[in-house]
Structure 1
Amino acid sequence: MDKILIKSATLVYPGHEKNGQTFDILLEDGVIKAYGEHDSISDDGVAVIDGSNQFLAPGFFDLNANFGEPGLETKETIRSGCAAAMAGGFTGVAIQPNTQPPLHSRSEVSTLINGAKEELVSIYPIGAISKDRSGNDLAELYDMKLAGAAAFSNGNKSIQQAGLMSRALLYCKGFDGLVMAFAEDYSISNQAPMNEGEVSTYLGIKGNPNLAEEIMIARDLALAVYHGAPIHFSTISTSGSVALIREAKQKGIRVTCDVSAHHLVLTDDLVKSFDSHYKVNPPLRTQADIEALKTGLLDGTIDAIVSQHTPQEVEYKRVEFEIAKNGIIALQTVLPLVLRAGLPLVTLIEKLAINPRKILNIPLPRLDVGEMANLVLFNPEEKWIFDAQTNKSKSGNSPFYQSELTGKVTLVINKHKQYKG
């Protein structure tokens, strides 16, 4: 990297002394050399980026993304996943263990970390709670922690055995590990393909009720209280889940949670098209659930927003809705969707950049002279088309493909590397 001067950008960094201020910032080889008022820094011999009407923030951090590697490279490789992440403004990504083999031992965790060393995006593997993600026996949790696992989850397979979840919480408590729970009671949901409600009744499709998520959250909260252990809930989707977690926080229980960006803007009404790109898990819920999720974000009940990036090959999506695989590619569409949801920019940065790092106990990027830059510059009003030319993922399963989106990342800097959008 050469010298870069970003001029007239407005900082969005809650808690920083310059939050909300507009200034110029000089970077050299990815290191912050100076910042000050507009035109206070010489621009001789440097590449100038006009930051007018743009916002500078710490690089986004995703708590829930799926890359295919190892084993499912036809869906996404480390390289293509990192390319999609940086195009979406992310400088850090926590990777779910939904791979083949799963991230269930030191070997897979180390492979993922070593494979991403040269990437702009920092990768944080999430180790599987159970061997083979089978939900029967605990995996090598402490060994994975020593190898660099940032937390532990069973990925998109919810832990059905209360005893196993209990042991995982107790064991992780001993070495300050964090359990990230995906809440779904299969005996209630029957792993149905869409939300249970008026639309599922109208379409004649079996529904996955809110209760399937909420009863599992209630169970895992009780287990966390019993052991005095922290717990994080991934991709909550219902108004009842928000209420349960809000009450738990008010009681002082050590609980955090996140929501996917698409669950803030898409409802189950869209399933009427039978477009398999709207098939996700948890399923798209109702507008009432969306309003509860937004309220939860604003009042602090929900701590973070995630992409839930889930690439799938075309043959798994271009089939009947009921047999299609769950998931959409989402790393590049998080910013436009959160802006569409109408959240304030300060809330956006808090939920996308600050809180995710706090949840995993990762140091926040520092905006000080001499520090390595970890920044994203974005224009919340710039429009762009998400298509084969702009998509950086190896897969194309998105309901927003070929659509015009508002909110574009223009510059990402991390680890002495840069990406220009």
Structure 2
Amino acid sequence: MDNLLIKSARIFFPNTPFHGKELDVLVKKGVITKIAGQIKEDVTNLDVFDAKGQYLVPGFFDMNVNFGEPGLETKEDIVSGCAAALAGGVTGVAVHPNTHPPVHSRSEVALIVNRSRPLPVDVHPIGTISKKRQGEELAELYDMKLTGAIAFCDGDKPVQQAGLMSRALLYSKGFDGLIISCPEDASVAAGGKMNEGVTSTYLGMKGNPNLAEALMVARDLYLAEYNDAPIHFTTISTAESVELIRKAKAKGIKVTCDVAAHHLVMTDDLIAGFDSNYKVSPPLRTQTDIRALRKGLKDGTIDAIVSQHTPHEIEYKNVEYQIAAEGIIGLQTLLPLALQAGLTVDQLVDKLAMGPRRVLGIPLPEFQEQALANFILLDTELKWQFDSQTNRSKSSNSPLMGKELKGKVTLAVNKRQIINTQ
């Protein structure tokens, strides 16, 4: 599909003269060659896509994704992960270093960069903060940055040593590196299997309190302020975290944050059925937390929405809830969950496409003639079944598997490649 004519798409590209208008778009070999009210082109091998009622928006960027490569390719490799991303309208990802070995040196960074180069998704590795993700000694941050690491995080292992986190913030500031905090105080969380509250008490299950997250957010905000360094919090899930970050932003601290899509719609009472596909980290919280998170999105406290895509083989999930692995796949359900949370198309563009790129310092997609195309078409009303036929991931650990979802991406264009995702 080298030449594509998109008919009657409603354009949602902020800060362009085309925003909010219904237009035709001609793409030739990955380049936007014409944007007009009506385009009649005599081009050989021209594919026409009727986008009436659909929105043309920048390709989404997911800044919290887990692929298994290197070492855990049976969960997800870069190729299958990118296929799932495209099906969800995600044309760019930042992959966390939860691999084996972890992404803690230039070798692993280079492997991911090179393996993903021909794929139609922009894949940006996140390097570890500490060697082997052990939280004891700084990894070679600058070396990884030169090789292509977009930011630094110990993945799903929160940095417990305040001194190490402080040194990481200070050191990375010298070369414009970004430290990402996965906020949880392990001594307070103490191995809790779900949110601490009414439901955990009812089920007799050890809980992980909001306090575990809020304490770590407070600590890292102090460290960021002390070192005058930027910090990003990933997958915040509590009302307390939102309020702490809101106040820190008002104070002028260089802080950004994101929220996982499932934390905007799912609550801890869903765990009453002991379905291990609801077991995530941080755990599903309460309706009070959901209201605070949605408010944080609207007032700008929360900068981005992520999928926290975490694939697992069936043997890690099809077991008792207590011993099941944490995490769900989420790339293809990112849009439906965001719509379920009540986001408008403008908010979708801001939180799923523009916000993540601004946080990471990545150039925003352009929408003008002669620009390289990076956009998707989405239908907010289209209903579809998420099942083994439509799932593009190697794994199937999602509580939404087998359910009808509303909102689907129908086309993705990036890196001179055009992919029909219907």
Sort the TM-score into its range (normalised by shorter chain): over 0.9
What's the counterpart of residue 201 of structure 1?
A: 201
What's the counterpart of residue 257 of structure 1?
A: 257
Q: Distance in 2 between matches of 1:239 and 1:398?
A: 25
What's the counterpart of residue 211 of structure 2?
A: 211
Q: Distance in 1 between matches of 2:28 and 2:68?
A: 34
The reply on whether 1:248 has 2:248 as its aligned counterpart is yes
Shift in Å, 1:301: 0.2
What's the counterpart of residue 315 of structure 1?
A: 315
What's the counterpart of residue 61 of structure 1?
A: 61
Letter in 2 for 1:292: A
Letter in 1 for 2:362: I
Please say if residues 35 and 41 of structure 1, whose CA atoms lie closer than 8 Å, have aligned partners that are also in contact: no
What's the counterpart of residue 391 of structure 1?
A: 391
Q: Which runs of 4+ in 1 moved over 4 A?
A: none
Q: Distance in 2 between matches of 1:274 and 1:122?
A: 37
Shift in Å, 1:355: 1.0
Q: Distance in 2 between matches of 1:394 and 1:382?
A: 24
Q: Secondary structure at the match of 2:164?
A: helix
Shift in Å, 1:12: 1.4
Q: Distance in 2 between matches of 1:323 and 1:266?
A: 21
Unaligned residue ranges in structure 2 (runs of 5+): none
Q: Secondary structure at the match of 2:91?
A: strand
Task: Describe the superposition over 1:39-61 as per-residue Cα deviations: whole angstroms up to 9, x where unpaired.
Answer: 24436642111111100011000
Please say if residues 88 and 409 of structure 2, whose CA atoms lie closer than 8 Å, have aligned partners that are also in contact: yes
Please say if residues 214 and 241 of structure 2, whose CA atoms lie closer than 8 Å, have aligned partners that are also in contact: yes
Shift in Å, 1:404: 0.5
Q: Distance in 2 between matches of 1:21 and 1:363?
A: 24
Please say if residues 26 and 41 of structure 1, whose CA atoms lie closer than 8 Å, have aligned partners that are also in contact: no
Letter in 1 for 2:395: S
1:116-155 equivalent positions in 2, closer than 5 A = 116-155=116-155
Shift in Å, 1:371: 1.2
Task: Describe the superposition over 1:311-338 as per-residue Cα deviations: whole angstroms up to 9, x where unpaired.
Answer: 0010010111111000000000000000
State percent identity of aligned pairs: 60
TM-score for both structures, normalised by structure 1: 0.99
Aligned CA RMSD, in angstroms, stands at 0.8
Q: Secondary structure at the match of 1:213?
A: helix
Letter in 2 for 1:58: P
Shift in Å, 1:174: 0.6
Please say if residues 249 and 255 of structure 1, whose CA atoms lie closer than 8 Å, have aligned partners that are also in contact: yes
Letter in 1 for 2:245: I
Q: Secondary structure at the match of 2:92?
A: strand
Q: Distance in 1 between matches of 2:297 and 2:40?
A: 38
Q: Distance in 2 between matches of 1:170 and 1:68?
A: 30
1:6-21 equivalent positions in 2, closer than 5 A = 6-21=6-21
Shift in Å, 1:156: 0.3
Q: Distance in 2 between matches of 1:175 and 1:191?
A: 36
Please say if residues 13 and 367 of structure 2, whose CA atoms lie closer than 8 Å, have aligned partners that are also in contact: no
Please say if residues 195 and 285 of structure 1, whose CA atoms lie closer than 8 Å, have aligned partners that are also in contact: yes
1:20-59 equivalent positions in 2, closer than 5 A = 20-37=20-37, 39-42=38-41, 45=44, 46-59=46-59
Matched length: 420
The reply on whether 1:229 has 2:232 as its aligned counterpart is no
TM-score for both structures, normalised by structure 2: 0.98
Letter in 2 for 1:130: S
Shift in Å, 1:254: 0.5
Please say if residues 2 and 418 of structure 2, whose CA atoms lie closer than 8 Å, have aligned partners that are also in contact: no
What's the counterpart of residue 339 of structure 2?
A: 339
Q: Distance in 1 between matches of 2:318 and 2:65?
A: 22
1:367-382 equivalent positions in 2, closer than 5 A = 367-382=367-382
What's the counterpart of residue 280 of structure 2?
A: 280
1:58-207 equivalent positions in 2, closer than 5 A = 58-207=58-207
Q: Secondary structure at the match of 1:407?
A: strand
Q: Distance in 2 between matches of 1:220 and 1:17?
A: 41
Q: Distance in 1 between matches of 2:131 and 2:289?
A: 34
Q: Distance in 1 between matches of 2:348 and 2:42?
A: 31
Inter-CA distance 228–59: structure 2 relative to 1 (3 Å threshold): same
Q: Distance in 1 between matches of 2:205 and 2:235?
A: 23
Letter in 2 for 1:296: G
The reply on whether 1:324 has 2:359 as its aligned counterpart is no
Shift in Å, 1:397: 0.3
Unaligned residue ranges in structure 1 (runs of 5+): none
- With 64-73 and 367-376 compared, the bigger mean Cα shift is at 367-376
Shift in Å, 1:399: 0.3
Shift in Å, 1:15: 2.4
